[in-house]
A and B are shown apart, each in its own frame.
Chain A
Amino acid sequence: MKYLFAIFCIVVIFISCRKDVIGHIPTPYELEIPSHFPSMVIPENNPMTKEGVDLGRMLFYEERLSGDNSMSCASCHSPENSFSDPNQFSTGINGIQGNRNSMALINLGWQKFFFWDGRAKSLEDQILEPVPNPIEMHQEWGDAVVKLEQDVEYRNMFFKAFGEKGIDSTKVSKAIAQFIRTMISGSSKFDVMYKFENSLPLNGNDQAILSSISPEEWAGYDLFKSLTGADCLHCHSGILMHINKFSNNGLDATFTDIGRGAITGNPNEIGRFKIPTLRNIALTAPYMHDGRFGTLDEVIEHYSSQLVSSPTIDPLMEHLSSGGVQLDSQEKDLLKKFLFTLTDYDFISNPDFQDPNK
């Protein structure tokens, strides 16, 4: 009878206290945000975890996400080009090209919309698009998931990242989004200039960089900010070097690609495209949504003298009537010198962002 009582108690305790699911609890990931940057808002449904970031990094370089196992995200967002594509248009697995230049992946954790036309409102949404896109990786998500499920390492990594069995497209996009949120660029010469001009603390390395900044680079920065100079500040301001906005920057009088207008259906937004960051701009040629400019000189010349009017041009193109801001050759040179200070070599060579299989 004693035994019956003991067994009864054990059964009752087991039934009343057991959890329904025993899963893995992922390790929280602490983002390394530079001291002069704002906080990053992380979506509540996709918290940063070490396992999620590691998985996202693997998936970013995973060629099995494409139909013929030849393309990964990195194919069009290569580290040496600050995670952009040096080609005007990227070529998909079937040899088909799109009509827009691949955007650089820098500090995306602070952005509010994605793609040149802003059609994705979250990183997670953005990541879902290239895999099934026929002119990109051209593979149904179901097929991509089957490939991943055949790999025991991935099965384990997904389990550790999400605390449950199973792989699906949502988990893939969440993991890659976590990885991309870690891709923070804040170690350029410009960062030291920004900190110095705003009396923010400089460490020893910053001090060394500060002493290397030339008068021409400072003069270029002044020109960059001046409303009567190059007037870049209207669209490329603050520590992130961009604003969250769409703009028609005077490239064309008529449009073959109507950009934001195709998403909203608003005729006032025809020809408007997302304003990109200028960080690492020297590494991310070609420029503009259609990669029409191969060099920074061409870009500067556009804003200096080649603006074209159209009904939806941004009112901030205030020098439109004279074709642009009319920089002389010395000013163009100074401006270019400043733009080179935006290059962050630590960012592109950061081992945490490279292919984990190499």
Chain B
Amino acid sequence: MQSVVFPNKILPYALVAPQIVLTVVFFFWPASQALYQSMMREDPFGLQSSFVGLANFSNILADENYLHALRVTVVFSLATALLSMGIALLLATAADTVVRGKGFYRTMMIIPYAVAPAVAGMLWLFMFNPAMGTFAYILRRNGIPWDPLLNGDQAMSLVVVAAAWKQISYNFLFFVAGLQAIPKSLLEAAAIDGARGARRFWTIVFPLLAPTTFFLLVINTVYAFFDTFGIIHSVTGGGPAKATETLVYKVYNDGFVNLNLGSSAAQSVVLMVIVIALTAFQFRFVERRVHYG
């Protein structure tokens, strides 16, 4: 780090003040509130709370429902990340071979990213709602007993598809950039070396995309963990029978619906630890490791 000396003593502080204020008001204050709350227990009427130390934490870690939510989150996140990245990669490789209307094609691909999560959720809900969804109707007519309101696996696939769909644009952009960054001469060398089609993709292109892929894996996992509340809330509401209740959704459900503030706060503290760990992991590995000289 380089130490810089400013001639004016006050101006630098004034310039960083807005950012500091924002961070304090929207991060440090609520985070400290969560930490404080996570060690308190409310009485049933919300009139007073008492200090219980780490009891909330030991409770949630021993709670079968919490562990279930953790499993659901892992399955949901991995499925979402892999599905959206897989499709995005497929589209990006296809976009690479498009000759005409490249700009138009790419612009169209990016639009879903501008759709709000709740709206994206509603979109998929309308299409696949067992009562009125067009696709639900088609599925049932073709002999598939489609009912995400009762079948947990179907509900899960529906939220995964909705969540993945929204993220495809973002992944697509990065994969397109990643593909363009591969030197053309490497592909030519591979062509002369007799590698074509799928073989060339898996032995040359895919390994060279590894930095992009790894970066996106972390980003998508974080997205699926923390940014999918709107989709789950609008599509399944965590149901049926908690089959799509992720950790974030459980925080909301326990805290704001069931008003178990202590437990909810403890859960959000655990989530905070996970975010910090993922971010540290990303900085450590994405920034340094997976790069080719």
Do A and B share a complex? no
Which A residues have a C-beta under 8 Å from some C-beta of B? none
